[in-house]
A = this chain, B = another copy of it.
Amino acid sequence: MTILSEKRPTTPDVEPDVTIDVAHLEHLLLGRWAEVRREAREFLRDPRLHRDESLPMAAHRERVLEQLRILAREGDVLRAFPSRLGGADDHGGSLARFEEVITADPSLQIKAGVQWGLFASAILHLGTEDHHDRLLPGAMSVDVPGAFAMTETGHGSDVASIGTTATYDPDTEEFVLHTPFRAAWKDYLGNAALHGTAAVVFAQLITARRGEQPVNHGVHGFYVPIRDPQTGQFLPGVGGEDDGLKGGLNGIDNGRLHFDHVRVPRRELLNRYGDVAADGTYSSPIASPGRRFFTMLGTLVQGRVSLDGAAVNAAKIGLTVAVTYGNQRRQFAGPGNDEVVLLDYAEHQRRLLPRLAHTYAAAFAHERLLQAFDGVFSGASDTDEDRENLETIAAALKPSSTWLALDVLQASREACGGQGFMAENRMTGLRADMDVYVTFEGDNTVLLQLVAKRLLADFAAHFKDADTGAMARYMAGRAADAALHRTPLARVVQTLADGGDVRRSVGHLRDAETQRELLTDRVETMVEELAQAVRPAQKAPRDVAADIINENQHAMIEAARAHADLLLWEGFTAGLAKVEDEGTKQVLTWLRDLFGLTVIERNLAWYLIHGRLSAGRARSVSSYVERLLRRLRPHAQDLVDAFGLAPEHVRAEIATGVEAQRQDEAREYYRRLRASGAMPVPEKSLSPERRRA
Q: Which residues of A contact B (CB under 8 A)?
A: 1-4, 10-12, 53-54, 56-57, 151, 153-158, 161, 163, 180-184, 187-188, 204, 206, 208, 213-218, 243-248, 281-282, 287-290, 329-336, 339, 344-347, 350-351, 406, 410, 413-414, 417-418, 420-424, 427-429, 431-432, 435-436, 438-440, 443-445, 525-526, 529-530, 532-533, 542-548, 550-555, 557-558, 604-606, 608-611, 615, 618-619, 626, 661-663, 665-666, 669, 677-684, 686, 691, 693
Question: A10 is contacted by which of B213, B345, B547, B611 (Cβ under 8 Å)?
Answer: B547
Chain B residue numbers with a CB within 8 Å of A153 are 662
Check A554–B666 contact: CB distance below 8 A: no
CB within 8 Å for A154 and B290 given contacts A245-B423, A555-B4: no
23 contacts between A and B (CB under 8 A): A157-B331, A157-B417, A183-B665, A213-B677, A214-B680, A215-B681, A216-B682, A245-B422, A247-B429, A247-B432, A288-B684, A335-B542, A335-B545, A335-B546, A345-B550, A346-B553, A347-B553, A347-B554, A351-B445, A554-B626, A605-B605, A609-B615, A610-B615
CB within 8 Å for A2 and B609 given contacts A247-B423, A347-B553, A546-B335: yes
Across the A-B interface, the 10 shortest Cβ-Cβ residue pairs = A247-B428, A604-B605, A245-B423, A216-B680, A335-B543, A214-B680, A4-B533, A608-B608, A605-B605, A10-B547
Question: A151 is contacted by which of B3, B418, B662 (Cβ under 8 Å)?
Answer: B418
Check B417–A428 contact: CB distance below 8 A: no
Which of A246, A287, A334, A678 has its CB near the most chain B CB atoms (within 10 A)? A246
Check B346–A247 contact: CB distance below 8 A: no
Q: How far is the CB of A470 from chain B (nearest CB, A)?
A: 18
CB within 8 Å for A10 and B548 given contacts A247-B432, A421-B435: yes
Question: A605 is contacted by which of B248, B544, B608, B611 (Cβ under 8 Å)?
Answer: B608
Chain B residue numbers with a CB within 8 Å of A422 are 243-247
Bound form: Cα–Cα A250–B214 in Å = 56
Chain B residue numbers with a CB within 8 Å of A53 are 245
Check A180–B608 contact: CB distance below 8 A: no
Bound form: Cα–Cα A339–B183 in Å = 13
Q: How far is the CB of A257 from chain B (nearest CB, A)?
A: 14
Q: How far is the CB of A231 from chain B (nearest CB, A)?
A: 26
Q: How far is the CB of A406 from chain B (nearest CB, A)?
A: 8
Bound form: Cα–Cα A216–B673 in Å = 13
Chain B residue numbers with a CB within 8 Å of A436 are 418, 421
Check B247–A331 contact: CB distance below 8 A: no
Chain B residue numbers with a CB within 8 Å of A1 are 525-526, 529-530, 555, 558, 606
Bound form: Cα–Cα A615–B417 in Å = 40
Question: A662 is contacted by which of B181, B336, B544 (Cβ under 8 Å)?
Answer: B181
Check A680–B421 contact: CB distance below 8 A: no
Check B551–A3 contact: CB distance below 8 A: yes
Check A529–B618 contact: CB distance below 8 A: no
Chain B residue numbers with a CB within 8 Å of A156 are 331, 417-418
Check A10–B544 contact: CB distance below 8 A: yes
Closest residue of chain B to A350 (Cβ to Cβ) is: B554
Q: How far is the CB of A145 from chain B (nearest CB, A)?
A: 21
Check A546–B334 contact: CB distance below 8 A: yes
Question: A332 is contacted by which of B158, B248, B427, B678 (Cβ under 8 Å)?
Answer: B158
Closest residue of chain B to A329 (Cβ to Cβ) is: B154
Chain B residue numbers with a CB within 8 Å of A330 are 154
CB within 8 Å for A161 and B247 given contacts A529-B1, A678-B214: no
Chain B residue numbers with a CB within 8 Å of A669 are 163, 180-181
Chain B residue numbers with a CB within 8 Å of A683 are 215-218, 282, 289
Bound form: Cα–Cα A609–B619 in Å = 7
Q: How far is the CB of A615 from chain B (nearest CB, A)?
A: 5
Check B440–A413 contact: CB distance below 8 A: no
Closest residue of chain B to A691 (Cβ to Cβ) is: B287
Check A414–B438 contact: CB distance below 8 A: yes
Chain B residue numbers with a CB within 8 Å of A188 are 418, 421
Closest residue of chain B to A548 (Cβ to Cβ) is: B10
Check A440–B424 contact: CB distance below 8 A: no
Bound form: Cα–Cα A680–B216 in Å = 5
Check B609–A609 contact: CB distance below 8 A: no
CB within 8 Å for A248 and B428 given contacts A289-B683, A331-B155: yes
Chain B residue numbers with a CB within 8 Å of A439 are 414, 417-418, 420-421
Chain B residue numbers with a CB within 8 Å of A605 are 604-605, 608, 618
Bound form: Cα–Cα A246–B427 in Å = 10
Check A615–B619 contact: CB distance below 8 A: no
Q: How far is the CB of A60 from chain B (nearest CB, A)?
A: 11
